[in-house]
Amino acid sequence: MINPLIDWKILPRFDEIKTGNIEPGVRIVLARCEKKFNELEEANPTSWEELMDPLEMIEDDLSRHWGLVSHLHHVKNSPELRDVYNKLLGDVIKFTNKLNQSQNLYKAYLNLQKSDEFKNFNDAQKRILKSTIHEAELNGVGLNSEERKEYNQISQKLAELTTRFSNNILDAIKAFKITITSPEQIIGLPTTLLELTADTAKQEGHSKATPTGGPWVLTLDSPCFIPFMQHSKSRQLRKKLYEAYISKASDGEWDNSLIANEIINLRQAKAKLLGFKNFADLSLSRKMAKTPSKVQKLLYELRDSSRTVAEEELKSIQTLADKNNFGKLKHWDIPYWAERLREKQYEINDEELRPFFPLPHVLAGLFELSEKLFGVKIKENIERMSFWNKDVKLFRVFDLNNQHLASFYLDPYSRPEEKQGGAWMDSLVGRSIILGSDKGKVRLPVAYMICNQSKPVGGKPSLMTFREVETLFHEFGHCLQHMLTTIDQGMASGISNVEWDAVEIASQFMENWCYDRGTLRKLGKHFETNQPIPESFIDKLLKARTYREGTNTLRQVNFGLLDLEIHQTQLSETSETILDIQRRIDRETLILPPQESDRFYCSFSHIFSGGYAAGYYSYKWSEVLSADAFAAFEEIGLDNEDEIKQLGHKFRETFLSLGGSQEPLKVFVAFRGREPNTKALMRHTGLISQLPNGEA
């Protein structure tokens, strides 16, 4: 019998996969992985080919198919899918633990590292072996059987809890709706938001809803929440929406507060079992930054340089409100008045820009830039393909000789009813020589690129906010690193084996191009008239880049410190709760004290259900590196076509090519010729305008 979940070589037939295929499919995969693993253990492997190749094949078999299930869990969530996912998760973890905790394999890795063969290994092989050993140690290979039992129970429990944490957020968002019917309540709202909220109303059963006549349904989903807070004149509705937003998943049916507590306790117990002082130390042991204190040093440095700027920013917003006799600003007033100040200072408005950023033009501009910088051509695959949703597209990447290099799926629009919020890149398969279909022929990488941007409404294409454009560039940067890798060992190709705090370099590097005039000219074309975006708009966009950067930086510092602090605390040994920690970090980093009902940590999915535990700082850490890398382009002049092209190729040959085969610092130095510093980031964010020697 054919099971579409596991019966595919290059691309899955997504529309044939039924929830009923998942359990039998995963069981088959687990059984054959188990069999291969037992054979490997018994074979006493001594060479790379005997040991590491089969290991890669086992890991790939599982991650390729289980990855497909988690992908669907993220983009096509349903009660049935959740049930089967939760049911299987335990067995998947059990097998992964067994693989990572194998004493026989661990001894074999150590022997291989000591063998004569080792000195002939290439850099990728050496790094793979080193991280496999480290990973086995972090997975408890050195524990006695009692401890290992405890370790495994903790892992199982953690997997369940982290999944529940993210499902609770999804459900809490789904359950919250405000239906408005009175035209007075929509005063100030931009047309795109009226279209979106009327469209939601239709889905909710108001079949006659129209953008001009209503009713309109408000949700906590970002494409609705953000513009509503910026534009609604109804202070009462803003307050209602804001309060629901900051306290989501913090009580009742979807309460995450106790789950968060339990997750932290379990992580600390795990860290202790492995001989670490706390989970932050464990997490940092496999990152570029190495120790929490190094991270704190950077975050406090950023706090100190942004605090006064942020205070000034708040003052200017309050001054504008005062001029309008508004009174003292509350949290739910700030986005509204900040947007008015932005309009006044820069004469620019998110909504005015949207018509110039329809998705098809933005993509065309992005692909043109990629061709210029990295020498790749990207074409949409127009054959009939099989997808998980009608809006998904498949693109293929070629080099300039039309050699196929990689492919990626784009799932652009928000679907709060079944798709997790935010944007991310994931791997369907990675580059690998031993997993190629024929001998000596490499398997080409395929990526998923998932965004949650404004969907097309009213017969228009998706008209993107500038923030959505930046997000698209960001995720595409991740995809490029996955797709343009030249490393043939699957365990270090693309984003594999890259330290977590270095993994945002390529993505943030790409975001910088959204502020390049030449690039903006290519992206920005009016969706109806095809008119290029006016130069005056570009001027304003560039000027507005650093608007509220003090506040934004403080917010990121706040998240980074909160994450680190939570993971350094033994909750069972102190009277401080996670909420107390949140409040303490808020006092250290925020200008305006938070609302009493603020339970941000209950929806901090990055650290409780994503991979960012004691790693949220990675964004700022790699922003330092990516800004410094981008500064190399600025130094030669962004319109200096020939040299930009050469430097782009160098970027491709280092950051995009080397994957996890080298230490990230070494990759950086190979590109930049020196170690990184924070000057470029400070300049980009406007936190220092000019360095005395002018060298930034």
As annotated, the active-site residues are 475
Q: How far is the CB of 478 from Zn ion (least distance, A)?
A: 6
Please say whether the dihedral angle defined by the alpha carbons of residues 433, 439, 441 and 446, taken in this order, is positive or negative: negative
AA letter at 347: E
Q: Which helix (H) or strand (E) holds 217?
A: strand 216-218
Q: How far is the CB of 511 from Zn ion (least distance, A)?
A: 9
Burial category of 693 from C-beta neighbours within 10 Å (exposed 0-12, middle 13-18, buried 19 and up): exposed
The pair of structure tokens assigned to 454 is 């404004």
The pair of structure tokens assigned to 607 is 């650290």
Q: Which residue's CB atom is positioned nearest to Zn ion?
A: 507
- In angstroms, rounded to a whole number, what is the distance separating the alpha carbons of residues 395 and 449? 11
- In angstroms, rounded to a whole number, what is the distance separating the alpha carbons of residues 179 and 106? 59
CA angle 666, 443, 667 (to 5 degrees): 5
Using alpha carbons, select from 516, 510, 524, 527 the residue that is nearest to residue 471.
510
Q: How far is the CB of 452 from Zn ion (least distance, A)?
A: 14
Please say whether the dihedral angle defined by the alpha carbons of residues 18, 20, 24 and 27, taken in this order, is positive or negative: positive
Q: How far is the CB of 694 from Zn ion (least distance, A)?
A: 32
Q: Which helix (H) or strand (E) holds 159?
A: helix 145-175
- In angstroms, rounded to a whole number, what is the distance separating the alpha carbons of residues 508 and 470? 9
Using alpha carbons, select from 159, 27, 19 the residue that is nearest to residue 76.
19
Does 452 interact with Zn ion (rule: CB under 5 A)? no
Q: Measured from the CB atom, is 337 or 621 closer to Zn ion?
A: 621
Q: Measured from the CB atom, is 217 or 495 closer to Zn ion?
A: 495
Q: Which helix (H) or strand (E) holds 178?
A: strand 178-180
Q: How far is the CB of 474 from Zn ion (least distance, A)?
A: 6
Using alpha carbons, select from 511, 675, 666, 614 the residue that is nearest to residue 295.
614
- In angstroms, rounded to a whole number, what is the distance separating the alpha carbons of residues 298 and 317? 28
Specify the stretch interacting with Zn ion by CB under 5 A; choose among 35-43, 50-58, 258-266, 497-505: 497-505
Query: In 307-457, where do the E strands start and end?
Result: 376-380, 393-399, 404-413, 424-429, 446-453
Site for Zn ion in 499-518 (CB under 5 A): 504, 507
Q: How far is the CB of 7 from Zn ion (least distance, A)?
A: 32
Return the SS3 of 520: helix
Return the SS3 of 648: helix
Return the SS3 of 451: strand
The pair of structure tokens assigned to 134 is 């480290």
- In angstroms, rounded to a whole number, what is the distance separating the alpha carbons of residues 4 and 403? 29
- In angstroms, rounded to a whole number, what is the distance separating the alpha carbons of residues 590 and 334? 14
Specify the stretch interacting with Zn ion by CB under 5 A; choose among 26-34, 82-90, 396-404, 496-504: 496-504
Alpha helices, DSSP H only, in 76-122?
A: 79-100, 103-114
Number of residues that bind Zn ion (CB under 5 A): 2
Q: How far is the CB of 663 from Zn ion (least distance, A)?
A: 20
Q: Measured from the CB atom, is 321 or 627 closer to Zn ion?
A: 627
The pair of structure tokens assigned to 433 is 């020589």
Kindly list the distances between the CA atom of residue 313 and the CA atoms of 172, 228, 302, 342, 611, in Å, as whole numbers in the listed order.
Answer: 33, 21, 16, 11, 33
242 within 8 A of 331, measured Cβ to Cβ: yes
- In angstroms, rounded to a whole number, what is the distance separating the alpha carbons of residues 618 and 32? 37
396 within 8 A of 404, measured Cβ to Cβ: yes
Return the SS3 of 128: helix
The radius of gyration of the chain from alpha carbons, rounded to an integer in Å, stands at 25
CB atoms within 10 A of CB 379: 11
Across the beta sheet with 446-453, the strand order is: 376-380, 393-399, 404-413, 446-453, 424-429
The pair of structure tokens assigned to 100 is 């990572």
- In angstroms, rounded to a whole number, what is the distance separating the alpha carbons of residues 679 and 694? 10
Specify the stretch interacting with Zn ion by CB under 5 A; choose among 99-107, 258-266, 498-506, 609-617: 498-506
- In angstroms, rounded to a whole number, what is the distance separating the alpha carbons of residues 348 and 94? 54
Interface contacts to Zn ion, rule CB under 5 A? 504, 507
